[in-house]
Amino acid sequence: MEQNSRGIWGSRLGFILAAAGSAIGLGNIWRYPYVTGQNGGAAFVLLYVGCVLLVGLPVLIAELSLGRKTTLNPVGAFKAIVPKSLWPGVGYLGVLTGVGILSFYLVIAGWTLGYLVRTIIPSSESFDQFVANPYEEIGYFLAFLGLTMYVVLGGVEKGIERWSKFLMPALFVLVLLLIGYNFTLEGASKGIEFYLKPDFSKIQGSTVLAALGQAFFSLSLGMGTMITYGSYISKKENIPVSAVAVALSDTTIAFLAGLMIFPALFSVGVEPTSGPALVFNVLPRVFETMPGGTIVGVAFFLLLIIAALTSTVSLLEVPVAFLVDEKKWSRKKAVWVIALMTILAGMPSALSQGTVAWFTNVEFLGQQGFLSIMNRLFSDISLPVGGLFICLFVGWVWGTKNALEEIRIGADEQTIRLMGFWQFLVKYVCPVVIAAVLLNIFGVF
């Protein structure tokens, strides 16, 4: 079974669930609802789905095939195909982006740990007080980092795969249950309308960027996560079919998270534009009113923690795989060094929620606060930039013909026939769309 000593997924379902585990995370349940809220609701949802289908899915297939072909980390993958060129720079950008995203993602992941504790032991602290408390912020950040390190030290199959297998389906069921309950809340219909009835006058250039950034973030694209995860797939796997399964489950969970949040939001009277605090301000209030709410709340935050963990693991795995493959470090050393870098990079974000005034108020890229700036810089800009180069690389340098050779292995005839359309998307549509959206933020149009 082993292709080489790097490790390989134990089963087909194991791989799909691990990749879906990377994709499904805070991006779906924390980020998607607040970004949707900030961008006007239903019209944004349509744009988002469009970005997933036209750009996300093709890039996902491109990353997975590049990874399986080379069985390497993002830097090594580019090197293997064109040594002595600037292309591995795209891989380096991915490694850097991994640390960048992880550094603020762990802060939010820490909030989910904190909210699990607060659901069990009620606290009189408001959300704003909670996030401004440096001991809690840093403590939970470090705790979540520790959990992530523990899983990544375990390696590919035993560490990552085992966790994803049955916890993702459990999250799905719990979200459905909460939707059912939230629909019965007073004022729920207003939320459903906001979420599902598009008002196209709300679409601006920044809306499109937000939709594209959200698609990249949610599908874990543009920084080589899927190159890395692809490098652990066996040659028996049908790549396009796996990619569709991953994208479908990710988008479904995000869509359902919206159905869960928006009715509740209007019912408890929180503003849809309230930003990163949104989910944390809304859901605990729902749990309070709900019969058996404590148990539901505990189950919800537990599953959210697991969902976040399968994502932080995939974020840490990219720089670790790079150091293990390219620098021949031991997994252990790589994990510890990246963890220390993540702590350094993450402290300003952890202290940016009212603890340290400068980190809280600093403005850049249209965002206020260090955490929001990191989020904009790495998720909305760095991921699409990486994705643009991945498309150009697979479309024009490695070539979709060669990519197809790889995709053909393990795929059936019917799937292959559809790949002509994929070639067209990767070569022309994706680069043009991504470039246009990026140029737009720099005010070119």
Sole window of 25-33, 149-157, 233-241, 295-303 interacting with ligand PHE (rule: CB under 6 A): 25-33
- Using the minimum distance from each CB to ligand PHE, give the nearer residue, 35 or 411: 35
What would you report as the CA-atom Rg of the chain, rounded to the nearest whole angstrom? 21
Select from 55, 96, 101, 334 the one that contacts ligand PHE (CB under 6 A): 101
The whole-angstrom distance between residue 134's C-alpha and the CA centroid of its chain comes to 26
- Using the minimum distance from each CB to ligand PHE, give the nearer residue, 65 or 314: 314
d(CA 50, CA 58): 12
Sole window of 87-95, 213-221, 275-283, 329-337 interacting with ligand PHE (rule: CB under 6 A): 213-221
Which residues within the stretch 351-370 sit at the binding site for ligand PHE (CB under 6 A)? none
d(CA 292, CA 312): 30
- Using the minimum distance from each CB to ligand PHE, give the nearer residue, 191 or 386: 386
d(CA 48, CA 359): 30
Smallest Cα–Cα separation from 226: which of 76, 411, 64, 32? 64
Q: How far is CA 337 from CA 92, 99, 317, 325, 343, in A?
A: 16, 11, 13, 15, 10
Select from 112, 182, 220, 372 the one that contacts ligand PHE (CB under 6 A): 220
Smallest Cα–Cα separation from 90: which of 62, 68, 61? 62
- Using the minimum distance from each CB to ligand PHE, give the nearer residue, 104 or 130: 104
# binding residues, ligand PHE (CB under 6 A): 15
- Using the minimum distance from each CB to ligand PHE, give the nearer residue, 268 or 318: 318
214 touching ligand PHE, by CB under 6 A: no
- In one letter, which amino acid is 392? L
230 touching ligand PHE, by CB under 6 A: no
225 touching ligand PHE, by CB under 6 A: yes
Whose CB is nearest to ligand PHE? Answer: 27
Give alpha helix (H) positions in 219-289: 225-230, 239-268, 278-289
Q: How far is CA 135 from CA 131, 217, 350, in A?
A: 10, 29, 10
Q: Are 310 and 163 in contact (CB under 8 A)?
A: yes
Q: Are 29 and 257 in contact (CB under 8 A)?
A: yes
Select from 111, 217, 229, 232 the one that contacts ligand PHE (CB under 6 A): 217
386 touching ligand PHE, by CB under 6 A: no
Sole window of 20-28, 33-41, 48-56, 257-265 interacting with ligand PHE (rule: CB under 6 A): 20-28
Binding mask 283-322 for ligand PHE (x = CB under 6 A): ----------------------------x--xx-------
Q: How far is the CB of 14 from ligand PHE (least distance, A)?
A: 18
381 touching ligand PHE, by CB under 6 A: no
Q: How far is the CB of 398 from ligand PHE (least distance, A)?
A: 22
What would the two tokens of residue 352 be? Answer: 């940016």
Smallest Cα–Cα separation from 139: which of 160, 118, 116, 113? 113
- Using the minimum distance from each CB to ligand PHE, give the nearer residue, 214 or 267: 214
Which residues lie across from 368 on neighbouring strands? 363
Q: How far is the CB of 30 from ligand PHE (least distance, A)?
A: 8
What would the two tokens of residue 282 be? Answer: 């809304």
164 touching ligand PHE, by CB under 6 A: no
3-state secondary structure of 87: coil
Sole window of 17-25, 38-46, 106-114, 402-410 interacting with ligand PHE (rule: CB under 6 A): 17-25
Number of H helices, E strands in the chain: 23, 2
Q: What is the binding site for ligand PHE (CB under 6 A)?
A: 22-23, 25-28, 101, 217-218, 220, 223, 225, 311, 314-315
